[in-house]
Structure 1
């Protein structure tokens, strides 16, 4: 595969990843940070399958990548496997798993130190996790076929003429007006003197002839 084709493919993968991530963020439970309930999370721990605010994302980074692997939704590159793992979990299911044994009267901490202690208890020590929970393996995803089909659709769209383009491409044909016939009769008639039918004129001619005969 050429470098240009590979770049185009990677761009299509990233575009699709971002589209799916933004779609997931429209889910009601994903609109809030899974740990502190802050609105509008733009970070995620893809191996845990959760969406986070920037403050909780920083705490998750401190846990180490063996516990939580954090990425920015917009600023980082994503793989299909990471996105699908987030799809399979999400904040709602993650709370059901990692907060299964949370006390009923529990109030989410807001100070940095209390929040970090809660996050460590939740993910590092698994204090509140559902006992029956087993972490599934990372899903295997192959978008090659889907991307190729989408690329083929785009090529077909480019080849197809847009509605009305055929009519615009053909120049409008305006019939040339037929040349007016050239009439010679007016000129001839203007130079030709009318023949007089006056009887007096005929008499003069006859009279002239008589005079000539006398001479």
Structure 2
């Protein structure tokens, strides 16, 4: 989750920042379909759906198995906004979406 999202992953129902957008794009459209929130055309219903999913915890669903204390892999933690994109955010995003796809 980002305080100032510029992008959305349509099929994941999450809002993403400019930095993380590049990682999502590198996953491929079969994993994450990325669209700019302000500079891309949006059908009103699709934009509303993404905002509804994002504000109602879609991100938590994707992170559940990664951060569940009973299943967590050694050393894994949620990336922070201050973390560098590579490797910290990139590895977390890949684990969160690519490995769970």
- Equivalent residues of 1:43, 1:54 under 8 A apart: yes
Higher helix share: 1
The structure with more radius of gyration:
1
Question: Aligned to 1:85, which of 42, 49, 58?
Answer: 49
In structure 1, the residue matched to 2:91 is 117
DSSP 3-state at the match of 2:8: strand
For structure 1, the residue ranges without an aligned partner over 5 or more in a row are 1-33, 128-215
Question: What TM-score results when the alignment is normalised by the length of structure 1?
Answer: 0.38
The runs of at least 4 consecutive aligned structure 1 residues that moved more than 3 Å come to none
Q: Secondary structure at the match of 2:35?
A: strand
- Between structures 1 and 2, the one with greater strand share: 2
Cα gap change, 1:107 to 1:60, in 2 (>3 Å) = closer
- Give TM-score, length-normalised by structure 2: 0.75
- In 2 relative to 1, CA 87–103 (structure 1 residues): closer, same or farther, beyond 3 Å? same
RMSD of aligned residue pairs (Cα, Å): 2.3
Gaps of 5+ in 2: 70-75
Contact 1:51 1:91 in 2 (8 A): no
Aligned residue pairs, count: 91
